[in-house]
Amino acid sequence: MVRRLLQDRPMRSGRIWALAAAWAMAGCIAEPIDEGDLGESEEVGAVVSSLTAAQRRTRAGQIRDAAAANGMTNGWMLAGIADAETNMSHCWSELTWACQGPDSADCGGGPVVAGAGDGPCSLRQGGLGMFQFDAGTFDDTLRREGDRILSIAGNVAAAVDFVVAMVIRSAYVSGVDNREQAIEWMNGVRTDNARFDPWIKTVTHYYNGCAPSYSCWSSRYAHYRDNTTGVYGEMGAAFWDVRHDFAAEYVHQTFPLARDPFELAPREEVTGSIELRNVGQATWRPGETFLGTTEPRDAACPFAGPDWIAPNRPATVDHDVPPGETGTFTFTVRAPDTPGEYPQFFTLVQEGVAWFSDQGGPADGQLQVRLTVTEAPACPEGTGPDWVCDGNDRVRCEVGMVERETCADGCDAGACAGPAEDGDGDGHDARFDCDDADPSIHPGMVDECEDGVDQDCDGEDAICVPLLEGDGRPMAARLTGGCSAGGPGAPGPFAAVGWIGAALLFARRRRTR
């Protein structure tokens, strides 16, 4: 059965082909058309719609979103059919020369558009809505499809069901045996890839009913092709991308704008940020939403800094950013060794899901950091790429960049000395403790005289000398190098006399040997 939306018009011999919705969509799913019954004079004609450009964009968005809700991400493929059939008109108020169908809430309570090619409108036999579902009378169609086809979203959902069945049985599509495969195949169609031609052939043959052997083939193929590419181009690639869940708007950046100078010496580093507003529908999250390199995409950036996640991923968003809020991407720029100009473009990417812009499109080049690397200054005299000591610091210089590091435990041959070990735990490390295995030997310890052990680590063993007290009896006194008043073994009140006497006795003792 062939249903066509027609209108008698005096301007063209009393009649104009207004629309060919070539076969009743709901009926064709259940009862495939007998292609031999199709006359070769069937033509797809022009449709005059009252939709404005803004209304067309709104309707296209409704088709896009309803198709996506039913798993079909390429809503423009359905919009191309609807545009070829009714100029995407769904309500009679948008195509008033056609017949009036049942009332719809989406039409303000008024009628949907109905086909006018099945006899007088009073017969109520035309196809319904923008995709012209037709199972006979209006009542027959509603019994078969349900009231859903009176709404815009329901009409699109029914169209998805139809094109799925159409692709499964298409002679132009291979390897598709079920709904999942059909959806996957259709979602892979692009206007410039190898699937587009089989799609248009499928629409021309199985939707319109015109087979390649019919004289109508060339004109109808061109009609569906041109309306599909036309509506795609009219709205723009970004519009049709259901990934509009992810979209960003520039707010601010601390890096100089591309038009302003941004000069660094080789290996010089500067940290900055780019702030963006979430104008999509999905929340950005750290570890999921990243700033990525573009032109070309995912290429390693020549000035990637040490804090970059990867050479093609400067940063992730700093916090969860719901729609309408702003997020910040902070990263460091490190100038390459070679002087010159380094322009780098960025856009956002929801890792593993989608880029926020079309590849090669204008949005791929909206965020830019343009770095100019200047000639390297000379290194200070005595410095080079190897570390050298400068007091307790170690210093090196390469392509004019000086690095200086203070060594807490001193510098030795260009390396920071590590903290010395205190092997015996006496509070004195091996640099000063002459026996770091014996806690009774360390600087400040009392040196036992003439025992053959240097307990105070001064390099000498203390010497014992006799001193006379008031009763004339000798006593041992320790003569220690470096003793000070009040220290261990310090002399008593007669220190001066004692020391003088000791010195005389010591001298006498040495002479008697």
User: Using alpha carbons only, how large is the chain's radius of gyration in Å?
Assistant: 46
| Neighbouring residues of 110: CB distance < 8 A, sequence distance ≥ 6 | 91, 92, 93, 103, 104
Averaged pLDDT for residues 509-513: 33
> What pLDDT is stored for residue 26 in this prediction?
31
- Mean per-residue pLDDT for 383-402? 88
Using pLDDT thresholds of 50, 70 and 90, give the confidence band for residue 304: very high
Inter-residue contact 396 to 390 (CB < 8 Å) = no
Q: Is the pTM of this model over 0.85?
A: no
Contacts made by residues 137-143, CB under 8 angstroms, sequence distance 24+? 138/101, 138/102, 138/114, 141/24, 141/26, 142/102
**380 CB-side CA count, 13 A:** 11
| H or E element in which residue 158 lies | helix 152-169
* Cα gap 360→297, rounded to integer Å: 9
**How many whole angstroms separate alpha carbon 101 and alpha carbon 90?**
10
Angle in degrees, 0-180, between the axes of helices 217-235 and 75-86, rounded to the nearest 10: 120
Query: What is the model's pLDDT at position 280?
Result: 81
The CA angle 411-414-416, to the nearest 5 degrees, is 40
At 272, the pLDDT band (50, 70, 90 cuts) reads: very high
Helix, strand, coil in percent for the chain, rounding step 5: 30, 20, 50
What single letter denotes the amino acid at residue 351?
A: E
How large is the average pLDDT for residues 251-260? 93
Question: Are 248 and 291 spatial neighbours (Cβ–Cβ below 8 Å)?
Answer: no
Classify residue 198 as left (phi > 0), alpha (psi -120 to 50) or beta.
alpha
Paired residues of 438 in beta bridges: none
Q: What is the pLDDT of residue 360?
A: 64
Strands 263-264 and 367-373: parallel
Q: Is pLDDT above 50 for 420? A: yes
pLDDT over 70 at 295, yes or no: yes
Q: Judge whether residue 263 has pLDDT over 60.
A: yes
pLDDT reading at 398 higher than 50: yes
What does the pLDDT average to over 400-427?
Answer: 84
Q: Is residue 262 scored above 90 in pLDDT?
A: yes
What 3-state DSSP class applies to 419? coil
Q: What is the pLDDT of residues 34-93, one digit of tens each?
A: 333 333 333 334 456 788 999 999 999 999 988 988 889 899 999 999 999 899 999 999
3-state secondary structure of 434: coil
- Are 314 and 329 a contacting pair, CB within 8 Å? yes
pLDDT in the model for residue 478:
40
Q: What value does the mean pLDDT take over residues 436-447?
A: 86
Q: How many residues belong to the chain?
A: 513
Q: What's the pLDDT band for 177 if we cut at 50, 70, 90?
A: very high
Q: How far apart are CA 221 and CA 403, in angstroms?
A: 70
- DSSP assignment letter at 26: H
Report the chain's mean pLDDT, rounded to a whole number.
80
The residues, ordered by sequence, that sit 6+ positions from 271 with a Cβ below 8 Å of its Cβ are 305, 307, 330, 331, 332, 333
Q: What percentage of the chain carries pLDDT values higher than 70?
A: 79
Per-residue pLDDT at 354: 80
Inform me whether the pLDDT recorded for 372 exceeds 60: yes
Task: Name residues whose C-beta falls within 8 Å of residue 139's C-beta, 6 or more positions apart in sequence.
Answer: 124
In this predicted structure, the answer to whether residue 253 has a pLDDT above a threshold of 90 is: yes
Split at pLDDT 50, 70, 90, the class of 496 is: very low
- Separation of alpha carbons 84 and 444, rounded Å: 103
Q: What is the pLDDT of residues 201-248, one digit of tens each?
A: 999 999 989 999 999 999 999 999 999 999 999 999 878 876 567 888
Instruction: List the structure tokens of 314.
Output: 């400067």
Higher model confidence: residue 474 or residue 278? 278
Average pLDDT of span 475-494: 41
Strand residues in 145-281 grouped as ranges (E): 248-253, 263-264, 269-278
- Each residue's pLDDT tens digit, 143-156: 999 999 999 999 99
CA torsion sign for 245, 250, 251, 252 is: positive
